[in-house]
Amino acid sequence: MSWTAICHLADIPPLGARVVAGPNGDIAVFRTADDHVFALRDQCPHKGGPLSQGIVHGERVTCPLHNWVIDLQSGAATGADSGCTRAFPIRVTEGQVWLDLAVSAADSDAAPVVDCREAG
């Protein structure tokens, strides 16, 4: 694990998201109504839409391009859709938001979007 401080919890609006530029592309950082935070690669598994721009509800976000609903915890599409985007470890301590990008080192922008199980 290599935790990087990225912002304060207060920098993310409740039921909203911010974007962090990562070494392999943008990462969307979400905050739920009850102040849980989640981090996903900012690309919908469907057509690459920026999930950070979607509407957050419960622990899900709806992609702004074609309304796929993505689970914030796993990055997996819900309902009848299937597909998955990478989730990153994230935590909050005393109002500071920490992101762990180490796991993404092997991940490349060019990598095709794959199912969660295959992505491991």
Partner 1 sequence: MHSSSDKPRLVLIGNGMAGMRTVEELLKLKPDMYDITVFGAEPWGNYNRIMLSPVLASEKTVDEIMLNDDAWYAEHGITLHKGKRIERIDRVGRRVIADDGTEAPYDRLLLATGSDPVMIPVPGADLDGVVGFRDIHDVDAMLASSREHKRAVVIGGGLLGLEAANGLMRQGMDVTVVHLMDHLMERQLDAAASGMLRASLEERGMHFRMAHQTQAILGDERVTGVRFVDGSEIDTDLVVMAVGIRPNTVLAESAGLHCERGVVVNDTMQTYDPAIYAVGECVQHRGTTYGLVAPLWEQAKVCANHLAEYGIGRYEGSITSTKLKVTGIDLFSAGDFSGDETTEDLVFQDAARGVYKRLVLKDNRIQGAVLYGDTLDGSWYFQLMRDGTPVADIRENLLFGQAHIGDSGHGDEASRVAAMPDSAEICGCNGVCKGEIVQAISEHKLFTLEDVRAHTKASNSCGSCTGLVESLLATALGGDYSDAPAKKPVCACTDHSHDEVRAAITRDGLKTMDAVFAALDWKTPNGCHVCRPALNYYLLAAWPKDYQDDAQSRFINERAHGNIQKDGTYSVIPRIWGGVTTPAELRAIAEVAERYQVPTVKFTGGQRIDLLGVEKSDLPAMWRDLGQAGFVSGHAYGKALRTVKTCVGSEWCRFGTQDSTGLGIQLERMSWGSWTPHKFKMAVSGCPRNCAEATIKDLGVVCVDSGYELHVGGNGGVKVRATDFLCKVETEAEVLEYAGAFMQLYREEARYLERTAPWIERVGLTRVKERLVEDAENRAVLYARFLESQEVAQVDPWADRAAGHAAHEFIPIRPVDGAPGTPRPEVSA
Instruction: Give the footprint of partner 1 on this chain (CB under 8 A).
Output: 4, 6-7, 11-16, 18-23, 26, 29, 33-34, 47, 49-50, 53-58, 60, 62, 64-67, 69, 79-80, 99, 101
CB of residue 118 to partner 1, shortest distance in Å = 23
Q: In a 10 Å sphere around its CB, with 0-12 CB exposed, 13-18 middle and 19+ buried, how is residue 16 labelled?
A: middle
Q: Which of 67, 74 has the CB closer to partner 1? A: 67
CB of residue 112 to partner 1, shortest distance in Å = 18
Amino acid of residue 117:
R
Q: Which of 33, 111 has the CB closer to partner 1? A: 33
CB of residue 80 to partner 1, shortest distance in Å = 4
User: From CA 35, how far away is CA 92, in angstroms rounded?
Assistant: 9
At a CB cut-off of 8 Å and minimum separation 6, what does 55 contact?
15, 61, 62, 64
